[in-house]
Structure 1
């Protein structure tokens, strides 16, 4: 067999893998890794891979590199896996195993006497995507996973990233002579034209965002859930990594994967929608995507033709592609560049021919008339008092990750909604809800594992002693039951809450929510605590005793309750201090308040609806962030990623005081579907490292907004930690005069630019930014740019 190497000795056309046997692989596993395992050969283009199956567990993959492989390329691949493990621990890619001596790789002698490099990585169970029939949900998840991989590879570099390989579509011109080897003359001519056109597009490719990319996310390198769930279980084979245009990874994935019953354009649209939800595409990337997809097909067909002539065994490994790739290539060609680009733009949420972030449009140009009939129906059927966001209300139809789409197909970056905590329509949460709904949903008067599994996982995340749960349907109910529990346990009737607090809509909790309420209207059994506002309060940022100064107000409130005949039952406090102004609370304040209330016989109820589940970035719970120990913790909204679910966690003796006195039951609280949603949210938080993302992205986001203060004197203060941030707007920084009208205008101007935020605070002059936890630095950049333009337009 000839192994002539065309096109200037491009790597990846050299096959002849090593000749190790399964017995050799088992011996190497014992000697290098101390692993007793049975070896099974796996497919590899130019190296050898063996699945090492121990008596228990999924095992590992032993990789034995081609003797011709440059050691720097091996180090490149090993370094990339190490980088990915640090950057995105939940990303489904292999993890590197160390040898018995702590090395990342070792040298072994092959049967032919040649030296080879060996390394071992974890084995990822699943089935190959090429053997699946993916639907839209799996295609979108595939796109999201490729984008996560690209995001995790950012910042990584290696000298070997410049390797010259045939699978780099920028080498299309060098493969042009081999199009003539294709047997079908029409196909040969089409491939030749595309290769030639690709060579002419090199300047356009060179202008795109570039980094190290995987460069081979084809269905033979992608594992999916073995049971058919729309989940990517693994991306493998990092042998074709290069430094190249970021969009190439998307182009290769979109070109090579076909959805069940879908054409190449429709399949690509789903993958693009998933990818852009995580990694927003730029205008020039969309403009080159069609050419890059065609180039992928043309390069593969040219390599296949060369191998049929020079490397029959290598060609055999590509025969499956010949059956599917050529028809897909021809259908993509017939679609034409303009139709394809328009479809791709729509999938990415971009207007035809225009980038995502655009100048604000006049209200009349954005379909006001089309919304009017819906507004009229809403007023007629729901009443006129139900609040709507923005001067021009949004008619939203779809969400994905951090993105929302309206009825006109326009995409919006969601920097406001904390309900879809792990992202809109997260496939793992959706699949968990759908799977359990198809099996059983009933009340909790029957035994079921899911609510118990969820309670165990939730309590394991709590401080010692908080070990029993009560389940309801939302945050309002959670706070209502928590208040009833506190009264039952303490025999008290008085409550302490923050000024302008909001805790829910039941009658009991509404009394604990003096939101927009004057002090004279507060219920007789409730006392409000002075907001610990370091920007405009009595004690400012530089005051050494600010925490103690503000916390002292708890003593005053307790004395006032006592004078009115009320022993304190509890202090209920939102640990994010959202309605109080999203405050940067002085360290030790909340702990001191909790201790003061507890000393007076009351309990501390930590309302975690806003701050819980990792939003602070540094801590999983808000009370932990403040160093305060609660007696009761309440959750709602994000706990089920939008699925109706509320939870109360407390100490066993506290709950017993309540259940001994009342026959409490919630029909839907903790039902199997809701518990499955809660479990899925915890899965995603852990797998995708979203708490750490909140920490890093939140710090990056706040720093970017603070930088705007130099250009925009309307920004009086920026505060918040993790992915919760408040931007206070003032007319004058010296007088700190609030600017609520400017605040409303900025929120509406950003909405016109496609970025959604809210407004908050007792003076209504606070921009509220509180996105899903999958919000990344590139999303923060879009929001910062939109805020910059909106402030400039004041």
Structure 2
């Protein structure tokens, strides 16, 4: 039996279970669990499951895992079952049994000499759903039970939830080649079309509510009452759990549960009605439910077709599945997505007159609290100087991924906020913060592994030598401490920053932030560098000497500092050049400035609050993208996805120069909860491939905006790399006259269309686009269309 996997080793295409006999299972049950019982082999896709029948009692199921199974996946299943037992004790799912030694699992040697993991769970009596034809009442109970399961899993997370598994319908692109293996050309073509459509829907799936889900509530994993009552007796087999859209669990349950005398849509409606009675659905989930159900069918056909070539048992499974489910699949496709969405919406108790793209309302409303009243209250309590975005300020109540909802339930696409770096309310970050908050949060004078784990993980991604951290609570504090460290190490007092720079709000850093400040008002120990602006500066993109020409400003600034009695301590530069208007730098500029500052005895501080953590797409850090190596790196709230956290990373001898002179301590900088948030962000960035997404989506986004230049003369320049972009608006491309009023107007018009962006630049004429890193092509299309309409209206 072949174990070849042309789909890159997707779990579930590797189907070699262990070779334990029933006698082996009986012995293992006795030795490990003290259970004297006869064993019967049950079906297992990649593991072995044995029913243990003792002389008395319901018995148990012994699970013997494939030798190739990642122990983390086994731990994932064990932790999930423990979590469910606490959250919903009455939920009909298996309960774990402890070994005689009190362990949840044990290592055993298999007949092949390989090491395997064994665990035992309670046996749930009942009949498999695949052996009965359910009525409407049973279908509704299936929906209710799956919803209970999802509610109980809410808030649970495990690092193995990102397992790469073929039964995750988001892997449709990797299954597309297998459609050609299906013998019936018409079925093969239908499966290929659905898989292609599924790939196109991936960005929309990414915007849905997400959490850990069972991901396999099919009729082979659902037990029903053996006496015939319309009730679910159990949900089993947690081996395909993933972190994914919550709606997938409903889609998989609705896909194959064909009711007696019912068509595909009618059967699905009953499951949906039961589910939404326990866990109400949102409009964006309803709109994509047809695609998820169709994708489940198509993925199953593709996987079984692959197995037909590589696994003898696969041929039988494909034939059985085609016999029972092909008519349902064809009925579903015949109905089409719009008719299905209307039927599903009705089943969920939502108005069928609503458009498919309608927006869910947030769970909380603020009736009677008008924007005018809130603005007046804000000014009374917070003062009148605190800025609000847009002519009509937005009253937001919640966020998820790249979406924000206001008090009226309207949804906005967030193309502006970089603080929720991996997406608003990312479940893994939320769970990490909640879990650690429930355990411990205290000052930083105690030992804690999570703090060290986070520091170690963060420094591992830095250039050699940048190996020690100082934790604070925000970017302003990080830049403040970095400046103090630089002065202590160099003995200097002078600083170089960019014109119009912004680095924070403490007194020391405010002096390094001449944002909107005239040259005459800059602090005496600070010198500013002209922006290396290739669009409207002294040197343009066509000038091969632009980098050295702009970098010469550092020579003049350093000489001026020395003449005024200030030895240089550091140059602090935002590697994204956001407040300069989001610039495309001449190659080598930042490196040249850093070298000049070091030659004069100072340090180079890279402010990575805006550009760090993969935002450029091609590099994890902005300074790396610019080809420079800093002496100190600073980070702010995006490092914790909005949780109050700032970090300074530097070389050991540099930090020692500071701590030898100063009894530095931050009470809550890098506390256990903050460290948990930071570590979770790094895990999400890696697991979800958000740096690569920034590269691909950013390139697509920029190309789309550049294409608008042919229709809108107001666009003078488009700049940026990855998921940060500046669009400079001008009244005349030839004279480059700035158009700040048009820029404000476009930002407000886009807000009215439900897309949030900002404005930036020394002339206030640059549209600032800087979304969370989970922003995808589908979202870029929405923003491009809104920008197109806004520009047409000015």
Q: TM-score, normalised by structure 2?
A: 0.66
In the TM superposition, 1:237-636 aligns within 5 A as 252-253=251-252, 255=254, 263-265=274-276, 269-270=280-281, 339-340=346-347, 343=350, 352-353=354-355, 355=357, 370-636=370-636
| CA 1:751–1:146: 2 relative to 1, 3 Å | farther
Find the counterpart in structure 2 of residue 660 from structure 1. 660
Q: Is the 8 A contact 2:498 2:530 kept in 1?
A: yes
Q: Following TM superposition, by how much is the alpha carbon of 1:156 offset from its aligned partner in structure 2, in angstroms?
A: 6.6
How many angstroms apart in 2 are the aligned matches of 1:247 and 1:382? 39
Q: Is the 8 A contact 1:53 1:60 kept in 2?
A: no
Find the counterpart in structure 2 of residue 134 from structure 1. 150
| CA 1:23–1:739: 2 relative to 1, 3 Å | same
Q: Following TM superposition, by how much is the alpha carbon of 1:234 offset from its aligned partner in structure 2, in angstroms?
A: 3.4
**CA distances 1:511-551 after superposition (whole Å, capped 9, x unpaired):** 00000111111000000001000000000000001000001
Q: Is the 8 A contact 2:499 2:580 kept in 1?
A: yes
Find the counterpart in structure 2 of residue 243 from structure 1. none
**CA distances 1:268-306 after superposition (whole Å, capped 9, x unpaired):** 645876x69xxxx5xxx67x689989x99xxxxxxxxxx
Match status 1:780 vs 2:770:
no
Q: Is the 8 A contact 2:283 2:357 kept in 1?
A: no
Find the counterpart in structure 2 of residue 157 from structure 1. 176
| CA 1:629–1:139: 2 relative to 1, 3 Å | closer
Find the counterpart in structure 1 of residue 242 from structure 2. 234
Q: Is the 8 A contact 2:283 2:356 kept in 1?
A: no
Find the counterpart in structure 2 of residue 174 from structure 1. none
Q: Aligned to 1:219, which of 214, 217, 220?
A: 217
Q: Following TM superposition, by how much is the alpha carbon of 1:336 offset from its aligned partner in structure 2, in angstroms?
A: 7.1
| CA 1:140–1:673: 2 relative to 1, 3 Å | closer
**CA distances 1:395-416 after superposition (whole Å, capped 9, x unpaired):** 1111111111111111111110
Find the counterpart in structure 2 of residue 58 from structure 1. 71
- Give 3-state SS (helix, strand or coil) of 1:469's partner: strand
Q: What is the alpha-carbon root mean square deviation over aligned residues?
A: 5.1
Q: Following TM superposition, by how much is the alpha carbon of 1:20 offset from its aligned partner in structure 2, in angstroms?
A: 9.6
**CA distances 1:185-230 after superposition (whole Å, capped 9, x unpaired):** xxxxxxxxxxxxxxxxxxxx99x9566999995425999xxxxxx9
How many angstroms apart in 1 are the aligned matches of 2:685 and 2:487? 34
Find the counterpart in structure 2 of residue 13 from structure 1. none
Q: Following TM superposition, by how much is the alpha carbon of 1:343 offset from its aligned partner in structure 2, in angstroms?
A: 3.7
| CA 1:368–1:703: 2 relative to 1, 3 Å | farther
**CA distances 1:98-122 after superposition (whole Å, capped 9, x unpaired):** xxxxxxxxxxxxxxxxxxxxxxxx9
- Give 3-state SS (helix, strand or coil) of 1:158's partner: helix
More displaced 10-residue stretch of structure 1: 123-132 or 414-423? 123-132
- Give 3-state SS (helix, strand or coil) of 1:387's partner: coil
In the TM superposition, 1:23-172 aligns within 5 A as 42-44=43-45, 53-54=66-67, 57-58=70-71, 133-135=149-151, 138=154, 153-154=172-173, 157-158=176-177, 160=179, 163=182
Q: Following TM superposition, by how much is the alpha carbon of 1:581 offset from its aligned partner in structure 2, in angstroms?
A: 0.7
- Give 3-state SS (helix, strand or coil) of 2:71's partner: coil
Q: Following TM superposition, by how much is the alpha carbon of 1:352 offset from its aligned partner in structure 2, in angstroms?
A: 2.8
Q: Following TM superposition, by how much is the alpha carbon of 1:679 offset from its aligned partner in structure 2, in angstroms?
A: 0.4
Structure 1 gap ranges (5+): 1-17, 26-38, 62-121, 172-204, 224-229, 237-245, 297-310, 319-332, 346-350, 358-365
How many angstroms apart in 2 are the aligned matches of 1:212 and 1:667? 48
Q: Is the 8 A contact 1:468 1:650 kept in 2?
A: yes
- Give 3-state SS (helix, strand or coil) of 2:466's partner: coil
How many angstroms apart in 2 are the aligned matches of 1:384 and 1:446? 41
- Give 3-state SS (helix, strand or coil) of 2:735's partner: coil
How many angstroms apart in 1 are the aligned matches of 2:772 and 2:120? 29
Q: Is the 8 A contact 2:64 2:118 kept in 1?
A: no
| CA 1:596–1:124: 2 relative to 1, 3 Å | farther
Q: Is the 8 A contact 1:126 1:233 kept in 2?
A: no
Q: Is the 8 A contact 2:607 2:635 kept in 1?
A: yes
Q: Following TM superposition, by how much is the alpha carbon of 1:563 offset from its aligned partner in structure 2, in angstroms?
A: 1.2
Structure 2 gap ranges (5+): 1-14, 23-39, 51-62, 75-115, 125-144, 206-213, 222-237, 258-267, 299-316, 325-339, 360-365
How many angstroms apart in 1 are the aligned matches of 2:667 and 2:17? 62
How many angstroms apart in 1 are the aligned matches of 2:424 and 2:719? 25
How many angstroms apart in 2 are the aligned matches of 1:541 and 1:694? 24
Q: Is the 8 A contact 1:143 1:271 kept in 2?
A: no
Q: Following TM superposition, by how much is the alpha carbon of 1:619 offset from its aligned partner in structure 2, in angstroms?
A: 0.6
| CA 1:40–1:689: 2 relative to 1, 3 Å | farther
How many angstroms apart in 1 are the aligned matches of 2:517 and 2:545? 29
**CA distances 1:418-475 after superposition (whole Å, capped 9, x unpaired):** 0000111111100000000000000111111111111111111111111111000000
**CA distances 1:760-779 after superposition (whole Å, capped 9, x unpaired):** 11111101010111111111
In the TM superposition, 1:706-725 aligns within 5 A as 706-725=706-725
Q: Following TM superposition, by how much is the alpha carbon of 1:355 offset from its aligned partner in structure 2, in angstroms?
A: 3.7
How many angstroms apart in 1 are the aligned matches of 2:792 and 2:414? 21
| CA 1:213–1:371: 2 relative to 1, 3 Å | closer
Q: TM-score, normalised by structure 1?
A: 0.66
| CA 1:19–1:622: 2 relative to 1, 3 Å | closer
Q: Is the 8 A contact 2:198 2:291 kept in 1?
A: no
Q: Following TM superposition, by how much is the alpha carbon of 1:22 offset from its aligned partner in structure 2, in angstroms?
A: 2.6
Q: Following TM superposition, by how much is the alpha carbon of 1:54 offset from its aligned partner in structure 2, in angstroms?
A: 3.4
| CA 1:569–1:378: 2 relative to 1, 3 Å | same
Find the counterpart in structure 1 of residue 57 from structure 2. none
In the TM superposition, 1:734-749 aligns within 5 A as 734-749=734-749
How many angstroms apart in 1 are the aligned matches of 2:120 and 2:546? 56
Task: Report how many residues are paired.
Answer: 602
- Give 3-state SS (helix, strand or coil) of 1:742's partner: helix
How many angstroms apart in 2 are the aligned matches of 1:249 and 1:163? 25
**CA distances 1:619-677 after superposition (whole Å, capped 9, x unpaired):** 11111111111010000021000000000001111111111111111111010000000
Q: Following TM superposition, by how much is the alpha carbon of 1:255 offset from its aligned partner in structure 2, in angstroms?
A: 3.5
**CA distances 1:705-726 after superposition (whole Å, capped 9, x unpaired):** 1111111111110010010000
How many angstroms apart in 1 are the aligned matches of 2:69 and 2:171? 31
More displaced 10-residue stretch of structure 1: 580-589 or 137-146? 137-146
